[in-house]
Amino acid sequence: MSEIEVRKIESYLWEIPKTGEMRVPGRIFASEELMSSIRSDQSLEQVRNVACLPGVVGWSLAMPDIHWGYGFPIGGVAATNVDGGAISPGGVGYDINCGVRLARSDLVLADLEDPVRRSLIDRLYQAVPSGVGASGAIPKLSRSDLERVLVLGARWAIEQGYGDVQDLEHTEAGGRLGGADPNCVSDRAKQRGLGQVGTLGSGNHFLEVQRVSRLFDTTMADAFGLFPDQIVVMIHSGSRGLGYQICDDALKRIRPRLADFGYRLPDVQLAAAPLDSPDGQAYLAAMRCAANYAWCNRQVMLHKVREAFQHVLGIGAAKLSMRLVYDVCHNIAKIEEHELNGQRMSLCVHRKGATRAFPAGHPEVPPAYREVGQPVIVPGSMGSYSYVCAGAAGAMEKTFGSTCHGAGRKMSRTQSKKLSRGRDLIGEMEERGVVVRATGMRTVAEEMPHAYKDVADVVEVMEAAGVSHRVAELKPIGVVKG
């Protein structure tokens, strides 16, 4: 249980006062019940530690899905001043641009009655490789093609016929961050990325076939192309081994140099470099490469999903009408313009397990959604439900344009496996109406609903705080796990 002083300052907002080496206060968005859970691990200590980063401004922030992570808590947000501030690989995480992609269709639940549903999940399991080290979704890339992926992101996939240009228009940053430099990516990282485009990976990554079970805002749902009982697909994955290696390489390079930078940090896992230093710029350029790889990865998976649906149902692309609603990343550091205390500032916004949530009218929201706000995709635990939300005005005032990214763990993977021992986990999912296909039972045991907070509680907090607005609830009918 954390002994850190935390004061309640609003109904759903708590503050860790600025003390000691903290440069800013810490702020946590949570209900009373969620705060009780949050106090049970070290995440509040990590919120306080992040507040010590050089150049951090405003607050060290935590979303209601916060839990203990590497350096930064998962569910943490911190913005550092581009002028003199630091960039921290721990503030992005090992799975760079782990994110979520949601596609809608013209199908309804009645179109996927058994045995069609089971055939579809089997086909998706075959089409989208999953598990540790998974590869083979598309032919192994040449070194030159990989470097194009690192620069072009999802656009490379479109050029190869994996989707269409409209997909890019509905992807955060158009599926590509500028300033990516493959020369800043190690040979080891590149080697790991050659065969993994179009693959899910393991852990909490998944591919879900879902139905729209409830609408909260029909106007926004209509803008997003969603309607009751509709079949949608959610893909949760990231930059695979390439992104992991880029993070690992950066930490090994930066950690020994903290004294050279004049940095004294409360936790070596917060290892950071000045944003304007060669080390900081090299990490930023490599991180952008990994982000682009992840967008390309999810784009290829979406193409494979579309093919699987068409094959099993025997329909064409027009009748399926599987269009991308949006793709958002939740492990990233991006240079953005924000207003703080009446001053416009260029900031490096670290979002680790947090989703961008720009409101209506923001120039980076796609034109199709400009009047309602950016779609926010919030997956829940396996077998429960997920949410589609929209960015709200409060995000720009309170969270540097950020909101929650999921349910958030309430127990470790080890604890979850222990609680799952001796149970028929696949059978339990079947009883919930969910067909599960997985490469092994380990990740199923780690990702059971008992391991997570209730995502409904999480999104309700962010709505009550005026940061993001609920649009639709989605319930799974089939899951492919790593």
Give the angle 241-298-318 at the CA atoms, nearest 5°: 160
Residue 106: HSE in the Cβ half-sphere, 13 Å Cα cutoff: 9
- How many distinct helices (H) and strands (E) make up the chain? 17, 19
Residue range 420-445: mean pLDDT, rounded:
83
Q: Where are the alpha helices (DSSP H) in 314-379?
A: 317-320
Residue range 394-399: mean pLDDT, rounded:
98
Residue range 384-407: mean pLDDT, rounded:
96
Give residue-wise pLDDT tens across range 202-231: 888 999 999 999 999 999 999 999 999 999
**Is position 405 annotated as part of the catalytic site?**
yes
- Residue 102's pLDDT is 98
- Taking 80 as the threshold, does the pLDDT of residue 446 lie above it? no
Distances (CA, A) of 290 to 75, 118, 397: 20, 34, 29
Integer Cα distance of 453 and 13 in angstroms:
18
Integer Cα distance of 252 and 412 in angstroms:
26
Give residue-wise pLDDT tens across range 235-284: 999 999 999 999 999 999 999 999 999 999 999 999 999 999 999 999 99
Work out the pLDDT band at 149, boundaries 50, 70, 90: very high
Integer Cα distance of 392 and 461 in angstroms:
13
Total residues belonging to the chain:
482
Integer Cα distance of 326 and 314 in angstroms:
26
Integer Cα distance of 289 and 153 in angstroms:
8
Q: Which residues partner with 474 through β-bridges? A: 212, 386
**Taking the CB of residue 143, how many other CB atoms lie within 10 A of it?**
11
Give residue-wise pLDDT tens across range 291-320: 999 999 999 999 999 999 999 999 999 999
Catalytic residue among 303, 362, 405, 469: 405
- Taking 80 as the threshold, does the pLDDT of residue 38 lie above it? yes
- Residue 234's pLDDT is 98
**Which of 470, 468, 463, 472 lies closest to 392 in space, CA to CA?**
468
CB 355 within 8 A of CB 157: no
Return the SS3 of 310. helix
- Taking 70 as the threshold, does the pLDDT of residue 1 lie above it? no
pTM of the model: 0.96
SS3 of 381-425: the string is CCCCCEEEEEECCHHHHHCCCEECCCCCECCCHHHHHHHHCCCCH
Domains of the chain (ranges plus CATH)?
7-481 (3.90.1860.10)
Backbone angles phi, psi at 58, to 5 degrees: 75, -90
375: preceding bond cis by omega (within 30 degrees)? no
Integer Cα distance of 475 and 455 in angstroms:
12
More confident residue, 458 or 421: 458
**Among 22-31, 290-299, 353-362, 424-433, whose mean pLDDT is lowest?**
424-433
For tokens 């992101």, what's the residue? 153
Measured in whole angstroms, how far is the alpha carbon of residue 454 from the centre of its chain? 17
Give residue-wise pLDDT tens across range 110-137: 999 999 999 999 999 999 988 777 788 8
For tokens 């309804």, what's the residue? 108
- Taking 90 as the threshold, does the pLDDT of residue 445 lie above it? no
- Residue 381's pLDDT is 83
Work out the pLDDT band at 421, boundaries 50, 70, 90: confident
- Residue 180's pLDDT is 98
Percent of the chain with pLDDT over 90: 86
- Residue 2's pLDDT is 60
The gap between the terminal CA atoms of the chain, to the nearest Å, is: 32
Give residue-wise pLDDT tens across range 166-204: 999 999 999 999 999 999 999 999 999 999 999 999 888
Give residue-wise pLDDT tens across range 328-366: 999 999 999 999 999 999 999 999 999 999 999 999 999
**Which of 234, 160, 206 lies closest to 386 in space, CA to CA?**
234
Percent of the chain with pLDDT over 70: 100
- Taking 70 as the threshold, does the pLDDT of residue 93 lie above it? yes
